[in-house]
């Protein structure tokens, strides 16, 4: 931004803009973002750094997933090769990781993600899958909702509005993955809307953009410099400077001191002038605090811990990452896999997205060892008190380490078990002898 902002105006579309009289042109900083509007959501993703940072982080976490194609018993088969191929390369420009990352970003920003399926026939496996920007994707309702049981009776048309061209889509040519509330206005033919958590971020994002605009003005342009006034006290000194005198002063200054014959904010004159400085105290405005506050609000709205974006300790970062996967990423991946399975897989075939290779989801070996020690001590006490048998204890241990309780490998010292068995036999013999008497 090259000019100082000194007024705000609203355009015909309802957008607010910072304007300046200095150069007589509109600046690029938009003041207010209505996050219930898809166009403003797309604009906010570009303009608001914290917003992009949070959703891009979530998308990157989703991209760590590995896709599998299995049957109802969890088995992979060679006949699923076509589906695996389209997942590995959804379109000529994307791999699965970038494809699923973009899906997750759309879900978090817009609440839904429309995908176009390029098929040879209505029932064939797609040749390509393309994610459509939600701001140009439209679903028109029929106005009928509550008594309908088929999609065609609820949705009248689906189309893409690209540069004024309307591209109609058939039912088999698209799918919509959504993580939001669907709003279908009964009795009207308006577009179907998707309400999402990002709808509540209008104020935080607008505040951040305004604070960055103010910071830019203060840092680059220095804010308001001050007021230049006539310092003469006699009657002649109170006479206003004529336009001819003002132009003469500026022309002489540019000729004598200017480098490129342009006006400078400091003028040299023989007139008696006074200077009243006007300055903003950046620390008092606390513009820097808006950055953290905006990031925290966006992260909380998206359901992840803001520690992922701070200089937190490693343990806190690992805990925040693990919780993000458990609460956000994995549940979203199941929605994505379910919708893709329904759209491109035959009956009985399912897509799964696996995250077991993610570092923060790995089992902590130290914690696992400490748990095993505690379990072993508890089981030994139960054996000593003859509450469980040695074989029963091995069955419980097998739940914590990979062993076959029925078929031990290698040499096994069963002296403890033998002693317990002998003791039990002796006790049983005594009891039988007493009963005979």
| Cα–Cα distance, 261 to 255 (Å, whole number) | 7
Q: Any idea what DSSP says for residue 5?
A: -
Out of 108-112, 191-195, 239-243, 367-371, which region has the weakest mean confidence (pLDDT)?
239-243
pLDDT of res. 106: 93
Q: How many residues would you count in the chain?
A: 437
pLDDT of res. 236: 54
Task: Please tell me which residue, 188 or 393, carries the higher pLDDT value.
Answer: 393
pLDDT of res. 335: 93
Statement: residue 333 has pLDDT above 90: yes
pLDDT band at 284 (very low <50, low <70, confident <90, very high): low
| Cα–Cα distance, 169 to 157 (Å, whole number) | 8
Q: What is the mean pLDDT of residues 106-110?
A: 92
| Cα–Cα distance, 310 to 53 (Å, whole number) | 12
**Which residue shows structure tokens 């036999």?**
425
Determine what percent of the chain falls in helix, strand and coil, rounding each to the nearest 5: 50, 20, 35
pLDDT of res. 286: 63
Statement: residue 338 has pLDDT above 50: yes
Q: What is the SS3 assignment for 405? A: coil
Q: Any idea what DSSP says for residue 268?
A: -
pLDDT band at 257 (very low <50, low <70, confident <90, very high): low
pTM comes to 0.67
pLDDT band at 308 (very low <50, low <70, confident <90, very high): confident
Q: What is the mean pLDDT of residues 405-426?
A: 57
Query: Where are the domains positioned within the chain?
Result: 32-223+285-362, 225-278, 365-436
| Cα–Cα distance, 123 to 142 (Å, whole number) | 26
Cβ contact 191:138 at 8 Å: yes
What are the tens digits of pLDDT across the range 144-174? 878 888 888 888 888 898 888 888 888 889 9
The whole-chain average pLDDT of the chain stands at 78
Out of 12-16, 194-198, 325-329, 352-356, which region has the weakest mean confidence (pLDDT)?
12-16
pLDDT of res. 171: 86
Residue 160: strand pairing partners? 137, 167
Statement: residue 435 has pLDDT above 90: no
First-to-last alpha carbon distance for the chain, in angstroms, is 108
Nearest to 132 by CA among 147, 117, 149, 152: 117
> CA separation (Å) from 387 to 142, 384, 392, 420?
69, 8, 10, 12
pLDDT of res. 16: 58
Nearest to 196 by CA among 332, 324, 307, 96: 332
What are the tens digits of pLDDT across the range 206-238? 888 888 877 776 666 555 556 666 666 665 555
pLDDT of res. 24: 37
How many DSSP H helices and E strands does the chain contain?
A: 13, 15
For residue 225 the two structure tokens come to 């410099």
pLDDT of res. 164: 80
Cβ contact 272:230 at 8 Å: yes
DSSP state letters, 22-61 = TTSSEEEEE----TTSHHHHHHHHHH-HHHHHHHHHHHHH
Most confident of 105-109, 180-184, 256-260: 105-109
pLDDT band at 88 (very low <50, low <70, confident <90, very high): very high
pLDDT of res. 422: 41
pLDDT of res. 351: 92
pLDDT of res. 312: 63
What are the tens digits of pLDDT across the range 15-52? 656 554 433 334 456 778 888 888 889 988 888 888 99
């Amino acid at each position: 931004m090259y000019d100082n902002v000194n007024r705000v105006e609203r355009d015909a579309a309802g957008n607010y803009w910072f304007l300046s009289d200095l150069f007589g042109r509109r600046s690029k900083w938009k003041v207010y973002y209505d996050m219930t509007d898809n166009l403003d959501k797309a604009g906010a993703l570009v303009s608001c750094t914290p917003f992009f940072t949070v959703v891009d982080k979530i998308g990157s976490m989703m991209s760590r997933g590995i896709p599998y194609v299995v049957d109802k018993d969890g088995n992979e088969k060679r006949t699923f090769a076509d589906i695996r191929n389209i997942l590995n390369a959804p379109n000529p420009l994307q791999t699965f990781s970038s494809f699923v990352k973009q899906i997750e970003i759309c879900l978090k920003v817009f609440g839904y993600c429309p995908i176009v399926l390029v098929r040879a026939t209505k029932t064939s496996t797609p040749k390509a899958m393309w994610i459509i920007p939600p701001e140009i994707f439209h679903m028109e309702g029929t106005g009928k909702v509550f008594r309908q049981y088929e999609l065609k009776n609820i949705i009248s048309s689906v189309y893409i509005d690209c540069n004024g061209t309307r591209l109609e889509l058939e039912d088999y040519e698209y799918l919509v993955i959504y993580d939001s509330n669907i709003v279908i206005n009964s009795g009207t033919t308006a577009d179907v809307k998707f309400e999402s958590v990002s709808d509540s971020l209008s104020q935080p994002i607008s505040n951040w953009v305004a604070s960055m605009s103010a910071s830019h003005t203060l840092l680059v342009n220095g804010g308001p410099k001050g007021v230049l006034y006539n310092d003469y006290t006699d009657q002649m000194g109170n006479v206003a400077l004529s336009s001819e005198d003002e132009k003469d002063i500026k022309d002489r200054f540019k000729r004598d001191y200017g480098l490129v014959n342009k006006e400078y904010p400091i003028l040299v004159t023989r007139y008696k002038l006074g200077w009243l400085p006007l300055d903003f105290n950046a620390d008092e405005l606390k513009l820097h605090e808006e950055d953290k506050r905006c990031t925290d609000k966006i992260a909380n709205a998206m359901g992840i811990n803001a520690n992922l974006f701070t200089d937190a300790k490693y343990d806190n970062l690992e805990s925040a990452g693990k919780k993000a996967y458990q609460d956000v990423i994995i549940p979203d991946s199941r929605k994505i896999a379910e919708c893709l399975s329904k759209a491109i897989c035959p009956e009985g075939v399912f897509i799964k997205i696996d995250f077991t290779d993610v570092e923060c989801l790995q089992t902590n070996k130290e914690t696992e060892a400490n748990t095993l020690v505690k379990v072993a001590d508890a089981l030994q006490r139960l054996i000593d008190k003859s509450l469980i048998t040695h074989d029963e204890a091995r069955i419980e241990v097998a739940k914590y380490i990979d062993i076959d309780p029925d078929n031990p490998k290698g040499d096994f010292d069963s002296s403890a078990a033998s002693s317990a068995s002998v003791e039990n036999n002796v006790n049983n013999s005594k009891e039988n002898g007493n009963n005979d008497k």
